[in-house]
Structure 1
């Protein structure tokens, strides 16, 4: 009985090809790939990494590496979807970790999903130095998708999948565990926040999410984020990691408020 069940799980997982975007991810990629040992083929779209990322990828025989100059996250993902030959694609960032519990639910879902389902929403848990926090501001995303079941759109500095038909949702989370140094994270924020500001200033107010509407209020957002992280998401119970995450998110919102003020006044 146990052997039959394992064979069924393996057959279901064979219907899935992970897709990963990389650029200088030597701090993360090995841990991400370690959780994908079940995958027969892993498609990696790399934006011409200059660190040890390519050497680390070469250690995994199931990785198929394609390099493409980066233009946007959405276009990189849409390009990658064209390389998928299985019924399902598991779209991941290079700092996403798949747990055994997520893997098991993944197999069950693929086995039972109706043909009209084109995307599956997955929750996230944020990690600080490898330990998951009790709560996170990361919203769920469509990570398990049918390659022909929709397309990616840019959304501020990030991207999102627009499904063409029915969707489902998973219970087990993907872990977001970025181990790159804080200095690199800080250097990325100005570019990301410029894209977020453009989104806030050009999107009609009624089309913005509740969170983005709050961000346009300037003064409220940084303190609201701090309270959400520490109280609503119980970051106080996570010790220094909870404070680290809360201060990190408050810093981003404070910087966005300053840049938004400047942009609105012709700076």
Structure 2
């Protein structure tokens, strides 16, 4: 199997860093781009072999990710978030794929979403997928996107059958703060692109986001958690326009 670089960007991930770094056990290099964590993230990470830690002030997610790509020495990279976990079945599938004579240039990972360790089946998570394994020489995150960073792939694309576990929500309040943060960054991104604030668009898109997640994407069948997820997704849209409004004042 060819060499792989495991990549991750962090900020105060002491609750996650041990487990996510263990998912890189088949990588011969681990690159961590840390935004000056004030907890034990770096201390825990330094205990792992083949780890290189880069301290870089956070500007946006895209810049952090591209810095990790530029630092890696291998062409193949496995890029995980702190709240993601590779199952034994997915690990085997990745290794088997990379042992083949021919590979794609980038692979989608479908993700299984958890809310405080409770599995979520709907609420828009059914089709959630992201690129996580790819060749650096064939892909790069598109500049200008401050949040919901997008990988541009100049090559062939595949996908894995086994899902990545995504423990995105440890508790309601922390996820609420994450959604607000995402909304603020998205508003700044829209302002840079010349988007004009509209109170009509703010309220219409906020309402539609909730309706889409809770009704159209069947969040109603996820119980209380489905309602909370749908609300917080719509809150992020509302905060996007609040951020855009502030940028234009």
Please give the secondary structure, in 1, of the residue aligned with 2:183.
helix
Residue 166 in structure 1 maps to residue 166 in structure 2: no
| Aligned equivalent of 2:55 | 67
TM-score by length of 2: 0.80
Across the aligned residues of Structure 1 and Structure 2, the Cα RMSD in angstroms comes to: 3.1
2:130 is matched with which residue? Answer: 141
Q: Deviations over 1:144-177 (max 9, x none)?
A: 1112222222424232221222222223332221
Which TM-score applies when normalising by structure 1? 0.75
Q: 2:116–2:171: 8 Å Cα contact kept in structure 1? A: no
Aligned residues: 243
Instruction: Rate the CA distance shift 1:171–1:89 in 2: closer, same or farther, 3 A.
Output: same
Aligned-pair CA distance for 1:24: 0.6
CA deviations 1:2-26 (Å, max 9, x no partner) are: xxxxxxxxxx3x6322101111111
* Matches of 1:181 and 1:167, distance apart in 2: 34
Deviates more, 1:226-235 or 1:47-56: 226-235
Which 4+ runs in 1 deviate beyond 4 A? 179-191, 201-205, 257-260
- Secondary structure at the aligned position of 2:14 is classed as coil
SS of alignment partner, residue 158 of structure 1:
coil
Match of 1:99 in 2: 87
Is residue 76 from structure 1 mapped to residue 64 from structure 2 by the alignment?
yes
Alignment of 1:218-257 (within 5 A): 218-257=202-241
2: CA distance between counterparts of 1:180 and 1:237? 20
Asked whether the 8 Å contact 1:118–1:167 carries over to 2, the reply is: yes
Q: Go from structure 1 to structure 2 and tell me whether the alpha carbon gap of 1:236 and 1:188 turns closer, same or farther (over 3 Å shift).
A: closer
Unaligned runs of 5+ in 2: none
Match of 1:213 in 2: none
What pairs with 1:171-250 in structure 2 (closer than 5 Å)? 171-178=161-168, 182-200=172-190, 203=193, 217-250=201-234
Change (3 A) 1:85 1:28: same
- CA deviations 1:59-107 (Å, max 9, x no partner) are 3334332323333322222222233233410111111111222222222
Does structure 1 retain, via aligned residues, the 8 Å contact 2:85–2:165? yes
Residues 226 and 194 of structure 1, relative CA distance in 2, 3 Å threshold = closer
